[in-house]
Structure 1
Amino acid sequence: MTNFEDNTKTLKTLIKKTKKSGKQAWEAGEILNHIFALKEYKEKYKTFNSYTSKEFDIKEETAQQYITIYKKIPIDMITDKMLVSHLYTIAEMQDILKVQILGILRLEEDESKVTYDGDIVLIFKQVLEQAKSSLSDKEAKELFKFIKKLDLQENERRKRAKNSPLERAERLETILLHKNYKSLTELYHYSPISEQGLVGLFCTNFHLIKQETFIFNDIESSFEAIIYIRTEYPDAQILIKKEVRDIDIYSDHDNYQKINIEFELNSFNYWRHKHHESESSEKCDMIICWEIDKIPTETVSPPILCIKELLETGKIELH
């Protein structure tokens, strides 16, 4: 048996375990890297993809992920509970952030019996990368706990929603609505329980909402018209009017601006859905949500309009 055949045999055993073990993925990546770098696969196959597909039933893309994990993350930093999805998510990060995340995940495993999933690690990575300033280990640890708490709440919400969609909805009559929005209870009995419901609520009350002013990019502004609403990101485009009193500063044309809107039932879903990483040429200028969960660190992200807060206070305050 040649060295190539021996390595292939070892890989068949390892790759069966990689879905449940980040360490096994690292070990598989080490061998795959050797075979790929020396082109040993050409002993039987024309391409590396043919080799991985035929021998292990995985695409070359997956094999390259294992190789990336091997190259980017030291084996002694990988715990028994870390999975491929966790490791590949953070493999390409800056070393200082990578070490910080791996250290916090290790502490979390030691202190908590609750297993974190790939979504939590991904969101944690995104927020750290978008933070306006670096976080201390203590601050990063608190951030991770905050993210995990919200993730657990969201998972519980989804489970309840499957059984009884209205179970988690607040009756609007129990919310202290501002006088400008008291009539809302004639149209709606419950708070929105989906993003679509939020969009409907916003559009129904747009004639009232457009009467409120807010500070956008340091300029007093107001909503003027809904240009469109669609299913893909970003969800909508709205025309806003700059409330400029000095006519010498802006022309009438300059007083208006089109901004892109993303609706989220909860503001934190903006991170969960990875919208800030979107490759779309149309960036999001504002998040409109029903409830707001402010991340305990300043991040580079769009301003947030909380509709529930607006209905209670009668004012638009961007967060």
Structure 2
Amino acid sequence: MNTPTSSPPTSTDDTSLGQAPEADRASHPFAMAVCLRVVVVVQCFGLGARYLFSSLETESDVYGWLYFDCDWPESIAQSIDNMGALTTLFAGGILCLNGLLLQKSSSDSSWTRIAGWMDRAAAVWIAIWMLLIAAAHMMRAAVFAELSLFEHAVRYHAPLALAVCGGMGVAACVSSARTRIAVILLAVAASLTFAAHGYKAYECYAPFIDLILLSDMQWTEAGITQANAEKLLVAIGIADILVALVLLVFRSRFATFYMVVWGLVTAASRMTALGLEAWPETLIRIANGGVPLVILIHWTAKRK
């Protein structure tokens, strides 16, 4: 006679276990979007400080192009330049505030949709103004002017990629298609920026030599001569161009890690060479290392 047997107990955690990998996958694009947002916000604050309220305040090349090249009245050129910087700073504030608030909001609420629209509008404006500054620099620079759009690529591609991600909403930034497009934009931008800077370093661009010599005088006191600085720049230039190619061709995480470290070092070199009051020059260049960091987060997560 067969005795009835009880069915094996079912785990109450089956659903959570099945959903865990999905939630883990969803968190990766979200982390990428958060990092990208931080990079863009910091860049905006650096731009505002550089052109509006720091001790080393100056005018952008937009002002120079309008006033000196187009013969616009100085007051109008100055007003446009200040308004562009103020609007960019305000847009960065919107991204910062939304980033803090939207993490606690429902992804399908009307507030989230409005904030997402504001996010995209703010990010697009930042990309436009950064691109205008790069274009104006290209028209006014005396040396390596043709490289301006390339060396500034991370500055206007970063907010553009954030707009493509769709803001902070989880449903938007988890979209694989949007994430893929954003990463492609960022990878191309990082490669262009490093290749342009690498070429200038290989050609021993004078301001780069000054950064090395001044940093050595103020911090390391290693007695680096100009000849040694030029040799160092040639090596740096070759390395930058190589990692730019490796990043695009092989999607190498090692190349991306190098870009993160070296991009942040070169951004910080403005303070090591010119003093701590040059902090806006560092913040405005945060995308040099921040954009590769976003790429590294995404590629590392995909290989897990």
Whether TM-score is above 0.5 comes out as no
Q: Which structure: larger Rg?
A: 1
What is the TM-score normalised by the length of structure 1?
A: 0.21
Question: More strand per residue: 1 or 2?
Answer: 1
Question: More helix per residue: 1 or 2?
Answer: 2
